[in-house]
Structure formats: C-alpha cells, structure tokens
Amino acid sequence: MILEFHAGDNEAELDAKSPDAFRTISEVADDLDIPQHVLRFWETRFSQIKPLKRGGGRRYYRPDDVALLKGIRRLLYGEGYTIKGLQRILKEQGPRHVQAIGRGAPIGPQHSEAAPRREAGSAADPSRQSDDMQDGARPVRNPVPEGLDDITLLTAVLAELGECKRILDRALQPPPTADGA
C-alpha cells in the first residue's frame, strides 16, 4: 500500500477559510503585513477595535474588525494620516466609513476636516503635519497606555517616524513644472 501526500491540496483547503470566520491575531497580522504588536497598539489608540478575547487573552477578530483594521492601515500607511487625524475620522464619520475604505471603497472628498488636502502652490500639505500642534505651541503628548512594554512603544514610534519621513520627503519634492520636465 502506497500513500501519497500532496501538500498543495491540503494547504489550499486550510487557507480557504470562510469569509465570515473569525481570524486570530497572527492571521490578521499576516494579512495586513504588519507585526502583531502594532495591532495591539492600535487597540489602545482606536476604541472601535474590539476583538473577542477568549481564555488566555487570545484575540479573535470578526470580519468587520478585519475590515476596520484594513481601513486603518490604508489611511495611516497608504494615505499618510496621523493617528489623531484618523481618530477624528472615526469620531465624525464612524467605523463603518473606515470599514468601507478597508473593503476597497475610494477615498474621496467626502472626508472630514481630518482628510489630507493638497492646496495648489503649497509645498507642504498642512493637514498631514502633526495634528498635535496647536497654534505653534509644543506638541501635546498623550500619556503612555498601561500594559504596553518598551519594545511595543518603540516599534510604534519607529513606524510613525518612518511615516513622518515619508510625508516630509513627499512635501519636499519640487513641484512639477508646466513644461513637464
């Protein structure tokens, strides 16, 4: 008797989870291509993220949670929003709006004041600057949430600094000339 095993067949069956199935934090982190600790950090910044927690603290994300996280990732990393700006969108337009963005809805002018704007002739995009600045004053610092370790906080800060660099690089690019050169 000869038994044959085809890994590809079983892999496809395991990866084909129902769209309504709950996802573990590792599955969501892999799907979004971000570390698990970033998801945990986002839970401290966005109260709308509410995974089910089972015995031992295991997180299970519903499909709507995953869509919300995809929307958050797209706005933070793809569109250059700050955490504070995204919190404003969630407050003013609700999590369903961000979930729709996570499901692929276009990001249009219907966004609130928190939405990035590009004004003609301006080198920098003012709404992508720190939302923590008030009338030229020093930035307002949020207290560190309890329960986060130094590595998690430093990794989150490093990710935000990387986004800041990307935004600055984009703002410092020379404006396109009329002749297209």
In a domain, 81, yes or no: yes
Copy the structure tokens of residue 153. Answer: 């906080």
In a domain, 38, yes or no: yes
CATH of the domain at 41: 1.10.1660.10
In a domain, 154, yes or no: yes
Contact predicate 103/67, CB 8 Å: yes
pTM for the whole structure: 0.54
Domain that holds residue 73: 18-105+146-171
Task: Supply the DSSP string of 52-107, one letter for each residue.
Answer: EE-GGG-EEE-HHHHHHHHHHHIIIIIS---HHHHHHHHHHH-HHHHHHHHTT---
Task: Please name the residue that has the structure tokens 């934090």.
Answer: 25
3-class DSSP assignment, residue 141:
coil
Report the 3 state secondary structure along 30-57.
HHHCCCHHHHHHHHHHCCCCCCEECHHH
The helix (run of H) or strand (run of E) holding residue 23 is strand 23-24
In a domain, 86, yes or no: yes
How many independent structural domains does the chain possess? 1
Distance CA 83, CA 85 (A): 5
In a domain, 135, yes or no: no
pLDDT at residue 15 in the model: 56
Distance CA 87, CA 114 (A): 9
In a domain, 180, yes or no: no
In a domain, 2, yes or no: no
Per-residue pLDDT of the chain in tens (181 residues, 90 and over written 9): 554 444 444 444 445 678 788 999 999 999 999 999 999 999 999 999 999 988 888 999 999 999 999 999 999 998 889 999 999 999 999 999 999 988 888 876 444 444 444 333 333 343 444 444 444 444 444 455 555 556 666 777 777 888 888 888 888 888 877 775 5
In a domain, 161, yes or no: yes
pLDDT at residue 126 in the model: 39
